[in-house]
């Protein structure tokens, strides 16, 4: 698929400002859309919007289909009469520069439960028909997700592999018993999903009216403790108790000398193929129903993936195993027709990976921060080697911010040495021809000026923020996904500077 020449901003919903401790689908989302439109941007890229579990990571979620309840705007619930003004104003004094997840979860869950009680108490409410329609349309994933979350609560949030055998193994009679006993909790989770998707559709409608496309993200793997694995254990490499026998990761790389051990269960691609990849088709259809285009996370895993024994202590003990390849995408294409995918082709990329990507016309990705180091693929990230069918970034959600990358030592956060970093800086200055200018604007100008059809800038780079605004440090399990920008950050000067460059380079 050929994308028109344009540019956009990468910003996860959690990072929006607001008084309820975390970004949501409320006024700050609409103000950001106005900023995008005013600065000439055509894409808003977000990370996965699913309900987060372990480590608050959007890449370790309780469901690949459900939405994150924390994104629901409480003000909108007040507008529907489900919460009072006092409820909405009762937020604790949350920090405005990061998400305090434990406190936010407790606060918002209490009010969401109160709103649900009000909703179901009004049996003749005007929205009941819309709610019933939503539940019927999403029944295939919604019922399993609602029961999964209800059971987790009943088991004090323990992982499903530690539940009693009957419910763990989804015995039909036990499922029915739990559905009856937890009916009120199931209704709560249906209500939350109804509100999430209704509010998201309003955000999407505002984007459409401003000519802005939304780019989503499909993680290649799902969390072991998820409704997906509990509901479809046959699709994953599990033992008789549901524990993974092989897990996902990547070999030693830029971020870690021992590789990254993600821990997600690997797929049984033969079983998936036998079913016509039905779960994947449903997953992609759901994502394309929410977004205009989608980033396929860890694309190289579809060609070959890094398989690590579940007992391994590091990812270095893994091996490459062939993935589902072109057959998988042919099935998706036959079912879904257009595949507006962006392939995240970073890491150890082989000719086979690129042949698969090019065979289906998926634009790849290039990060300018990777262009000047000792990685053998570095030259491919330099703009004189760009192709037009490319999405060019200054950096990504796993990288430090560009000012942080430039000014920090980098030692301990990657496999680079001090000598490597000095050489990297020298080449960066020589290639980009700058001395003391703000490095973030040099990088922004470079990707916007490039021939790549699409250029994306993380908002942290646009704001010129340092390492304190980093979104994620791969290989660490805490302190990530927390950064938020402050409400007064999107100044007129920044908007006008970005608009000028966007117009100058025909974006």
For the range 474-481, what are the long-range contacts, defined as Cβ-Cβ under 8 Å and sequence gap of 24 or more? Answer: 474/255, 474/256, 474/260, 474/398, 475/255, 475/256, 475/260, 477/54, 477/55, 478/55, 480/55, 480/56, 480/57, 481/12, 481/14, 481/52, 481/55, 481/56, 481/57, 481/58, 481/99
Catalytic residue among 297, 389, 400, 413: 297
Gap between the Cα atoms of 475 and 330, Å rounded: 34
- The two tokens of residue 490 are 């999107």
Please check whether residue 365 is in contact with residue 394, taking contact to mean a CB–CB distance below 8 angstroms: no
Q: Is 34 a catalytic residue?
A: no
- The two tokens of residue 365 are 């990705």
By CB atoms closer than 10 A (0-12, 13-18, 19+), residue 467 is middle
Catalytic residue among 217, 389, 398, 400: 398
Gap between the Cα atoms of 364 and 298, Å rounded: 11
Q: Is 297 a catalytic residue?
A: yes
Please check whether residue 189 is in contact with residue 146, taking contact to mean a CB–CB distance below 8 angstroms: yes
Our measurement of the distance from residue 253's CA atom to the centroid of its chain's CA atoms, rounded to an integer in Å, reads 21
Considering just the CA atoms, what is the radius of gyration of the chain in Å?
A: 23
Q: Is 398 a catalytic residue?
A: yes
306 forms bridges with which residues in the sheet? 249, 320
Catalytic residue among 73, 143, 253, 344: 344
Please check whether residue 62 is in contact with residue 225, taking contact to mean a CB–CB distance below 8 angstroms: yes
Gap between the Cα atoms of 419 and 81, Å rounded: 61
Gap between the Cα atoms of 250 and 320, Å rounded: 9
User: Where in the sequence numbering do the catalytic residues fall?
Assistant: 297, 344, 398
């Amino acid at each position: 698929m050929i994308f028109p020449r344009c540019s956009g901003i990468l910003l996860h919903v959690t990072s929006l400002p607001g008084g309820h401790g975390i970004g949501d689908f409320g006024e700050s989302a609409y103000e950001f859309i106005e900023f995008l439109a005013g600065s000439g941007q055509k894409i808003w890229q977000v990370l996965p919007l699913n309900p987060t579990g372990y480590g608050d990571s959007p890449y370790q979620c309780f469901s690949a289909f459900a939405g994150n309840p924390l994104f629901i705007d409480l003000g909108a619930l007040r507008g529907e009469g489900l919460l009072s003004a006092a409820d909405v104003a009762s937020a604790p004094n949350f920090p405005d520069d990061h998400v305090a997840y434990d406190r936010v979860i407790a606060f918002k869950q209490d009010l969401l439960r109160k709103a649900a009680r009000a909703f179901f108490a009004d049996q003749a409410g005007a929205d009941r028909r819309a709610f019933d329609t939503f539940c019927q349309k999403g029944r295939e994933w919604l019922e399993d997700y609602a029961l999964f979350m209800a059971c987790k609560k009943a088991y004090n949030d323990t992982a499903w592999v530690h539940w009693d055998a009957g419910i763990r193994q989804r015995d039909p009679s036990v499922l029915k018993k739990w559905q009856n006993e937890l009916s009120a909790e199931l209704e709560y989770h249906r209500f939350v999903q109804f509100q999430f998707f209704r509010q998201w559709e309003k955000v999407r409608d505002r984007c459409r009216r401003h000519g802005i496309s939304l780019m989503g993200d499909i993680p290649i793997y799902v969390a072991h403790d998820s409704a997906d694995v509990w509901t479809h254990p046959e699709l994953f490499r599990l033992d008789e108790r549901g524990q993974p026998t092989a897990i996902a990761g990547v070999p030693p790389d830029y971020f870690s000398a021992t590789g990254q051990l993600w821990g997600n269960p690997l797929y049984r691609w033969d079983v998936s193929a036998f079913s016509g990849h039905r779960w994947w088709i449903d997953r992609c259809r759901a994502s394309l129903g929410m977004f205009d285009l989608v980033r396929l996370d860890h694309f190289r895993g579809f060609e070959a993936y890094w398989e690590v024994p579940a007992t391994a202590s590091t990812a270095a003990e893994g091996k490459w195993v062939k993935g589902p390849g072109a057959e998988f995408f042919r099935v998706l294409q036959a079912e879904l027709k257009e595949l507006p995918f962006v392939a995240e082709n970073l890491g150890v990329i082989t000719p086979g990976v690129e042949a698969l990507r090019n065979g289906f016309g998926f634009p790849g990705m290039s990060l300018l921060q990777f262009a000047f180091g000792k990685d053998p693929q570095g030259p491919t990230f330099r703009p004189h080697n760009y192709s037009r069918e490319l999405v060019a970034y200054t950096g990504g959600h796993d990288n430090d911010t560009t000012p942080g990358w430039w000014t920090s030592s980098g030692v301990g956060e990657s496999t680079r040495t001090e000598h490597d970093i000095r050489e990297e800086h020298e080449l960066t200055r020589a290639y980009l021809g700058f001395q003391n200018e703000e490095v973030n604007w040099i990088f922004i100008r470079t990707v916007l000026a490039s021939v790549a059809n699409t250029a994306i800038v993380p908002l942290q780079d646009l704001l010129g923020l340092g390492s304190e605004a980093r979104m994620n440090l791969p290989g660490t399990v805490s302190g990530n996904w927390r950064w938020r920008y402050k409400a007064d950050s999107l100044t007129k000067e920044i908007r006008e500077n970005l608009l000028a460059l966007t117009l100058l380079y025909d974006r």
